[in-house]
Structure 1
Protein backbone atom coordinates (compact mmCIF):
# COMPACT_ATOMS: atom_id res chain seq x y z
CA UNK A 1 0.00 0.00 0.00
CA UNK A 2 2.70 2.48 0.91
CA UNK A 3 4.39 2.00 -2.45
CA UNK A 4 1.98 4.59 -3.89
CA UNK A 5 3.73 7.16 -1.71
CA UNK A 6 7.01 6.21 -3.32
CA UNK A 7 5.46 7.04 -6.70
CA UNK A 8 4.97 10.68 -5.67
CA UNK A 9 8.12 11.28 -3.63
CA UNK A 10 11.62 9.79 -3.38
CA UNK A 11 11.75 6.97 -0.80
CA UNK A 12 13.53 8.99 1.88
CA UNK A 13 10.99 11.82 1.46
CA UNK A 14 8.03 9.45 1.50
CA UNK A 15 9.39 8.06 4.77
CA UNK A 16 9.18 11.55 6.26
CA UNK A 17 5.45 11.65 5.50
CA UNK A 18 4.94 8.14 6.82
CA UNK A 19 6.74 9.12 10.02
CA UNK A 20 4.35 12.01 10.78
CA UNK A 21 1.19 10.20 9.64
CA UNK A 22 -0.88 7.23 10.64
CA UNK A 23 -2.35 4.51 8.43
CA UNK A 24 -6.14 4.50 8.75
CA UNK A 25 -8.64 2.06 7.23
CA UNK A 26 -11.95 3.64 6.28
CA UNK A 27 -15.04 1.52 5.61
CA UNK A 28 -17.56 2.28 2.85
CA UNK A 29 -19.98 4.95 3.97
CA UNK A 30 -17.69 6.16 6.75
CA UNK A 31 -16.78 9.85 6.85
CA UNK A 32 -13.17 10.95 7.10
CA UNK A 33 -14.38 14.51 7.69
CA UNK A 34 -17.98 15.53 8.36
CA UNK A 35 -19.77 18.80 7.74
CA UNK A 36 -19.27 20.97 10.82
CA UNK A 37 -15.94 19.39 11.78
CA UNK A 38 -12.99 21.71 12.16
CA UNK A 39 -10.49 19.52 10.33
CA UNK A 40 -7.02 19.14 11.77
CA UNK A 41 -5.85 16.50 9.31
CA UNK A 42 -5.49 15.60 5.69
CA UNK A 43 -5.21 12.18 4.14
CA UNK A 44 -3.28 10.64 1.30
CA UNK A 45 -5.40 7.96 -0.38
CA UNK A 46 -3.32 4.78 -0.57
CA UNK A 47 -6.21 2.67 -1.85
CA UNK A 48 -9.92 3.07 -2.32
CA UNK A 49 -12.22 5.87 -3.34
CA UNK A 50 -13.73 8.92 -1.65
CA UNK A 51 -16.22 11.60 -2.51
CA UNK A 52 -16.72 15.14 -1.31
CA UNK A 53 -20.40 15.99 -0.95
CA UNK A 54 -22.73 18.65 0.34
CA UNK A 55 -26.00 17.87 2.07
CA UNK A 56 -28.87 20.34 1.68
CA UNK A 57 -31.37 21.15 4.42
CA UNK A 58 -33.85 19.03 2.46
CA UNK A 59 -31.52 16.02 2.57
CA UNK A 60 -30.36 16.22 -1.07
CA UNK A 61 -26.75 15.21 -1.69
CA UNK A 62 -24.54 17.09 -4.14
CA UNK A 63 -21.27 15.33 -4.98
CA UNK A 64 -18.56 17.95 -5.34
CA UNK A 65 -15.67 15.66 -6.20
CA UNK A 66 -14.41 12.10 -6.50
CA UNK A 67 -10.97 11.28 -5.13
CA UNK A 68 -9.03 8.21 -6.24
CA UNK A 69 -5.79 6.64 -5.07
CA UNK A 70 -2.61 8.76 -4.99
CA UNK A 71 -4.44 11.97 -4.11
CA UNK A 72 -4.83 13.99 -0.95
CA UNK A 73 -8.19 14.48 0.75
CA UNK A 74 -9.04 17.35 3.02
CA UNK A 75 -11.50 20.11 3.64
CA UNK A 76 -8.56 22.34 2.85
CA UNK A 77 -10.00 25.83 3.30
CA UNK A 78 -11.65 24.80 6.59
CA UNK A 79 -8.39 23.21 7.76
CA UNK A 80 -6.19 26.23 7.06
CA UNK A 81 -8.74 28.68 8.49
CA UNK A 82 -9.66 26.51 11.52
CA UNK A 83 -13.33 26.79 10.60
CA UNK A 84 -16.08 24.19 10.20
CA UNK A 85 -16.12 22.16 7.00
CA UNK A 86 -19.07 22.82 4.69
CA UNK A 87 -18.96 19.33 3.19
CA UNK A 88 -18.43 15.66 3.99
CA UNK A 89 -15.59 13.40 2.82
CA UNK A 90 -16.94 9.86 2.56
CA UNK A 91 -15.35 6.54 1.58
CA UNK A 92 -17.23 4.84 -1.25
CA UNK A 93 -15.37 1.55 -0.96
CA UNK A 94 -12.93 -0.03 1.49
CA UNK A 95 -10.11 2.49 1.66
CA UNK A 96 -6.76 3.02 3.32
CA UNK A 97 -5.22 6.42 3.86
CA UNK A 98 -2.16 7.94 5.43
CA UNK A 99 -3.73 10.50 7.77
CA UNK A 100 -1.42 13.44 8.48
CA UNK A 101 -2.04 15.97 11.27
CA UNK A 102 -2.05 19.48 9.83
CA UNK A 103 0.20 20.74 12.66
CA UNK A 104 2.88 18.19 11.73
CA UNK A 105 2.54 19.00 8.04
CA UNK A 106 3.04 22.70 8.80
CA UNK A 107 6.20 21.83 10.75
CA UNK A 108 7.46 19.84 7.76
CA UNK A 109 6.69 22.73 5.40
CA UNK A 110 8.55 25.17 7.65
CA UNK A 111 11.59 22.91 7.89
CA UNK A 112 12.26 22.17 4.23
CA UNK A 113 11.46 23.94 0.93
CA UNK A 114 11.10 20.54 -0.74
CA UNK A 115 7.77 20.05 1.05
CA UNK A 116 6.52 23.49 0.05
CA UNK A 117 7.08 22.60 -3.61
CA UNK A 118 5.59 19.15 -3.05
CA UNK A 119 2.39 20.59 -1.59
CA UNK A 120 2.23 23.28 -4.24
CA UNK A 121 2.10 20.60 -6.97
CA UNK A 122 -0.95 19.00 -5.34
CA UNK A 123 -2.65 22.34 -4.69
CA UNK A 124 -2.12 23.31 -8.34
CA UNK A 125 -3.51 19.95 -9.49
CA UNK A 126 -6.56 20.42 -7.26
CA UNK A 127 -7.10 23.93 -8.59
CA UNK A 128 -6.99 22.69 -12.21
CA UNK A 129 -9.52 19.93 -11.45
CA UNK A 130 -11.80 22.43 -9.70
CA UNK A 131 -11.56 24.90 -12.59
CA UNK A 132 -12.34 22.18 -15.17
CA UNK A 133 -15.30 20.96 -13.13
CA UNK A 134 -16.77 24.46 -12.83
CA UNK A 135 -16.35 25.04 -16.58
CA UNK A 136 -18.07 21.76 -17.40
CA UNK A 137 -20.99 22.38 -15.05
CA UNK A 138 -21.53 25.84 -16.52
CA UNK A 139 -20.94 25.21 -20.21
CA UNK A 140 -21.52 21.57 -21.13
CA UNK A 141 -24.66 19.53 -21.59
CA UNK A 142 -25.42 16.71 -19.17
CA UNK A 143 -24.60 14.18 -21.89
CA UNK A 144 -21.21 15.77 -22.57
CA UNK A 145 -20.46 15.90 -18.82
CA UNK A 146 -21.24 12.17 -18.60
CA UNK A 147 -18.99 11.39 -21.57
CA UNK A 148 -16.20 13.41 -19.93
CA UNK A 149 -16.79 11.55 -16.65
CA UNK A 150 -16.36 8.22 -18.47
CA UNK A 151 -13.16 9.49 -20.10
CA UNK A 152 -11.71 11.07 -16.94
CA UNK A 153 -12.65 8.17 -14.65
CA UNK A 154 -12.46 4.98 -16.74
CA UNK A 155 -14.27 2.09 -15.07
CA UNK A 156 -15.51 4.20 -12.18
CA UNK A 157 -19.09 3.91 -13.43
CA UNK A 158 -18.85 0.22 -12.46
CA UNK A 159 -17.52 0.97 -8.96
CA UNK A 160 -20.05 3.48 -7.66
CA UNK A 161 -23.81 3.91 -7.55
CA UNK A 162 -25.51 5.65 -10.45
CA UNK A 163 -27.14 8.07 -7.97
CA UNK A 164 -23.67 9.30 -6.98
CA UNK A 165 -22.65 9.70 -10.62
CA UNK A 166 -25.86 11.67 -11.30
CA UNK A 167 -25.17 13.82 -8.24
CA UNK A 168 -21.62 14.46 -9.48
CA UNK A 169 -22.94 15.44 -12.91
CA UNK A 170 -25.52 17.78 -11.40
CA UNK A 171 -28.51 15.86 -12.76
CA UNK A 172 -31.28 13.61 -11.47
CA UNK A 173 -30.78 9.82 -11.62
CA UNK A 174 -33.63 9.55 -14.15
CA UNK A 175 -31.78 11.91 -16.49
CA UNK A 176 -28.63 9.81 -16.20
CA UNK A 177 -30.65 6.68 -17.05
CA UNK A 178 -31.97 8.40 -20.19
CA UNK A 179 -28.48 9.49 -21.22
CA UNK A 180 -27.05 6.01 -20.67
CA UNK A 181 -29.89 4.42 -22.62
CA UNK A 182 -29.40 6.88 -25.49
CA UNK A 183 -25.66 6.20 -25.63
CA UNK A 184 -26.18 2.42 -25.67
CA UNK A 185 -28.26 2.61 -28.87
Structure 2
Protein backbone atom coordinates (compact mmCIF):
# COMPACT_ATOMS: atom_id res chain seq x y z
CA UNK A 1 0.00 0.00 0.00
CA UNK A 2 3.00 2.29 0.40
CA UNK A 3 3.43 2.27 -3.38
CA UNK A 4 -0.15 3.46 -3.71
CA UNK A 5 0.38 6.37 -1.32
CA UNK A 6 3.70 7.27 -2.92
CA UNK A 7 1.94 7.62 -6.28
CA UNK A 8 -0.59 10.15 -4.96
CA UNK A 9 -0.54 13.90 -4.95
CA UNK A 10 -2.29 15.89 -2.23
CA UNK A 11 -4.84 18.65 -2.72
CA UNK A 12 -6.36 20.77 0.03
CA UNK A 13 -9.87 22.05 -0.63
CA UNK A 14 -11.55 24.96 1.07
CA UNK A 15 -15.20 24.76 2.09
CA UNK A 16 -17.42 24.90 -1.03
CA UNK A 17 -14.50 24.28 -3.42
CA UNK A 18 -15.11 21.85 -6.27
CA UNK A 19 -12.94 18.77 -6.67
CA UNK A 20 -14.49 18.02 -10.05
CA UNK A 21 -17.57 19.21 -11.89
CA UNK A 22 -20.24 17.46 -13.90
CA UNK A 23 -19.37 17.01 -17.60
CA UNK A 24 -15.76 18.17 -17.11
CA UNK A 25 -12.75 15.97 -17.93
CA UNK A 26 -11.66 13.83 -14.98
CA UNK A 27 -8.78 11.36 -15.17
CA UNK A 28 -8.12 10.75 -11.47
CA UNK A 29 -8.91 8.41 -8.62
CA UNK A 30 -9.58 10.18 -5.31
CA UNK A 31 -9.01 9.25 -1.68
CA UNK A 32 -10.63 11.59 0.84
CA UNK A 33 -8.22 11.92 3.77
CA UNK A 34 -9.94 14.69 5.74
CA UNK A 35 -13.26 16.48 5.57
CA UNK A 36 -16.67 16.02 4.03
CA UNK A 37 -17.55 16.06 0.33
CA UNK A 38 -20.88 15.72 -1.42
CA UNK A 39 -21.69 14.30 -4.83
CA UNK A 40 -24.36 16.04 -6.89
CA UNK A 41 -25.92 16.41 -10.31
CA UNK A 42 -27.44 19.46 -11.90
CA UNK A 43 -31.24 19.10 -11.88
CA UNK A 44 -33.59 20.09 -14.65
CA UNK A 45 -34.25 23.49 -13.03
CA UNK A 46 -30.55 24.32 -12.54
CA UNK A 47 -30.39 23.24 -8.90
CA UNK A 48 -27.88 20.76 -7.52
CA UNK A 49 -29.37 17.40 -6.51
CA UNK A 50 -27.28 15.66 -3.86
CA UNK A 51 -26.66 11.99 -4.67
CA UNK A 52 -24.15 11.08 -1.97
CA UNK A 53 -21.81 12.09 0.82
CA UNK A 54 -18.21 11.10 1.52
CA UNK A 55 -16.72 11.41 4.99
CA UNK A 56 -13.01 10.92 5.53
CA UNK A 57 -11.24 8.66 5.42
CA UNK A 58 -12.78 7.03 2.38
CA UNK A 59 -12.32 6.19 -1.26
CA UNK A 60 -14.45 8.27 -3.62
CA UNK A 61 -16.51 6.24 -6.08
CA UNK A 62 -14.06 4.72 -8.58
CA UNK A 63 -13.40 6.57 -11.83
CA UNK A 64 -15.05 4.00 -14.11
CA UNK A 65 -18.33 4.34 -12.17
CA UNK A 66 -18.41 8.16 -11.95
CA UNK A 67 -17.30 9.08 -15.48
CA UNK A 68 -18.37 8.46 -19.06
CA UNK A 69 -15.75 8.86 -21.81
CA UNK A 70 -13.44 10.57 -19.33
CA UNK A 71 -15.98 13.19 -18.23
CA UNK A 72 -17.43 13.38 -14.75
CA UNK A 73 -21.04 12.34 -14.25
CA UNK A 74 -21.12 14.25 -10.96
CA UNK A 75 -19.93 17.36 -9.23
CA UNK A 76 -17.82 16.69 -6.15
CA UNK A 77 -17.74 19.63 -3.74
CA UNK A 78 -16.15 20.07 -0.31
CA UNK A 79 -18.72 20.84 2.40
CA UNK A 80 -15.94 21.41 4.95
CA UNK A 81 -12.23 22.02 4.45
CA UNK A 82 -10.93 18.77 2.98
CA UNK A 83 -7.75 16.98 2.02
CA UNK A 84 -7.72 14.65 -0.97
CA UNK A 85 -5.03 12.31 -2.24
CA UNK A 86 -5.37 11.71 -5.96
CA UNK A 87 -3.62 9.87 -8.73
CA UNK A 88 -4.13 9.28 -12.45
CA UNK A 89 -6.36 6.31 -13.21
CA UNK A 90 -3.65 4.78 -15.40
CA UNK A 91 -1.17 4.88 -12.49
CA UNK A 92 -3.60 3.07 -10.19
CA UNK A 93 -4.36 0.52 -12.90
CA UNK A 94 -0.64 -0.18 -13.31
CA UNK A 95 -0.32 -0.75 -9.55
CA UNK A 96 -3.42 -2.98 -9.47
CA UNK A 97 -1.95 -5.19 -12.19
CA UNK A 98 1.47 -5.42 -10.57
CA UNK A 99 0.80 -5.55 -6.81
CA UNK A 100 -1.51 -8.10 -5.20
CA UNK A 101 -2.31 -5.95 -2.14
CA UNK A 102 -3.41 -3.06 -4.37
CA UNK A 103 -5.46 -5.48 -6.47
CA UNK A 104 -7.21 -6.79 -3.32
CA UNK A 105 -7.74 -3.23 -2.10
CA UNK A 106 -9.39 -2.38 -5.44
CA UNK A 107 -11.63 -5.43 -5.23
CA UNK A 108 -12.67 -4.48 -1.69
CA UNK A 109 -13.48 -0.92 -2.83
CA UNK A 110 -15.60 -2.26 -5.69
CA UNK A 111 -17.46 -4.68 -3.43
CA UNK A 112 -18.19 -1.90 -0.94
CA UNK A 113 -19.34 0.46 -3.70
CA UNK A 114 -21.71 -2.22 -5.04
CA UNK A 115 -23.13 -2.86 -1.54
CA UNK A 116 -23.71 0.86 -1.00
CA UNK A 117 -25.32 1.28 -4.41
CA UNK A 118 -27.76 -1.59 -3.85
CA UNK A 119 -28.56 -0.34 -0.35
CA UNK A 120 -29.28 3.13 -1.73
CA UNK A 121 -31.48 1.73 -4.51
CA UNK A 122 -33.51 -0.35 -2.04
CA UNK A 123 -33.90 2.62 0.30
CA UNK A 124 -35.23 4.88 -2.44
CA UNK A 125 -37.56 2.32 -3.93
CA UNK A 126 -39.03 0.83 -0.78
CA UNK A 127 -38.49 3.06 2.24
CA UNK A 128 -40.38 6.09 3.49
CA UNK A 129 -38.62 9.45 3.86
CA UNK A 130 -38.55 8.85 7.61
CA UNK A 131 -36.79 5.49 7.18
CA UNK A 132 -34.32 7.06 4.73
CA UNK A 133 -33.53 9.85 7.21
CA UNK A 134 -33.00 7.38 10.05
CA UNK A 135 -30.70 5.36 7.80
CA UNK A 136 -28.79 8.50 6.83
CA UNK A 137 -28.40 9.44 10.49
CA UNK A 138 -26.97 6.02 11.23
CA UNK A 139 -24.52 6.21 8.33
CA UNK A 140 -23.52 9.85 8.99
CA UNK A 141 -24.24 10.59 12.67
CA UNK A 142 -23.21 14.26 12.75
CA UNK A 143 -24.14 15.26 9.19
CA UNK A 144 -27.13 17.42 10.13
CA UNK A 145 -24.83 19.62 12.21
CA UNK A 146 -22.27 20.05 9.42
CA UNK A 147 -24.11 20.74 6.18
CA UNK A 148 -27.04 22.82 4.96
CA UNK A 149 -30.28 20.96 5.50
CA UNK A 150 -31.27 21.67 1.90
CA UNK A 151 -28.52 19.26 0.78
CA UNK A 152 -29.81 16.54 3.08
CA UNK A 153 -33.39 17.11 1.90
CA UNK A 154 -32.16 16.86 -1.69
CA UNK A 155 -30.38 13.59 -0.92
CA UNK A 156 -33.53 12.20 0.72
CA UNK A 157 -35.65 13.23 -2.26
CA UNK A 158 -37.88 15.57 -0.26
CA UNK A 159 -38.35 19.33 0.01
CA UNK A 160 -36.55 21.33 2.69
CA UNK A 161 -39.96 22.05 4.29
CA UNK A 162 -40.76 18.32 4.44
CA UNK A 163 -37.31 17.68 5.89
CA UNK A 164 -37.90 20.26 8.61
CA UNK A 165 -41.27 18.70 9.46
CA UNK A 166 -39.77 15.22 9.53
CA UNK A 167 -36.97 16.34 11.87
CA UNK A 168 -39.54 17.97 14.14
CA UNK A 169 -41.66 14.80 14.16
CA UNK A 170 -38.65 12.63 15.04
CA UNK A 171 -37.56 15.04 17.78
CA UNK A 172 -41.06 14.79 19.35
CA UNK A 173 -40.80 10.98 19.58
CA UNK A 174 -37.43 10.78 21.34
TM-score (norm 1): 0.87
Cα distance in 1, alignment partners of residues 40 and 79 from structure 2: 12
Q: Give the number of aligned pairs.
A: 172
- What is the aligned partner in structure 2 of residue 153 from structure 1? 140
SS of residue matched to 1:180: helix
> Which of 36, 41, 57 is matched with 1:70 structurally?
57
TM-score (norm 2): 0.92
1:41–1:101 CA contact under 8 A, matched in 2: yes
Specify every segment of 5 or more residues in structure 1 that has no aligned partner in the other structure, as ranges.
Answer: 1-12
Q: Which runs of 4+ in 1 moved over 4 A?
A: 78-81
Q: Please give the root-mean-square deviation of Cα atoms over the aligned residues, in Å.
A: 1.6
Alpha-carbon distance change, 81 to 55 in structure 1, aligned in 2, over 3 angstroms: closer
- What is the aligned partner in structure 2 of residue 7 from structure 1? none
- What is the aligned partner in structure 1 of residue 78 from structure 2? 91
Specify every segment of 5 or more residues in structure 2 that has no aligned partner in the other structure, as ranges.
Answer: none
Shift of 1:172: 0.6
Cα distance in 1, alignment partners of residues 127 and 44 from structure 2: 27
Cα distance in 1, alignment partners of residues 108 and 126 from structure 2: 27
Shift of 1:73: 1.7
> Which of 25, 47, 55 is matched with 1:60 structurally?
47
Alpha-carbon distance change, 169 to 51 in structure 1, aligned in 2, over 3 angstroms: same
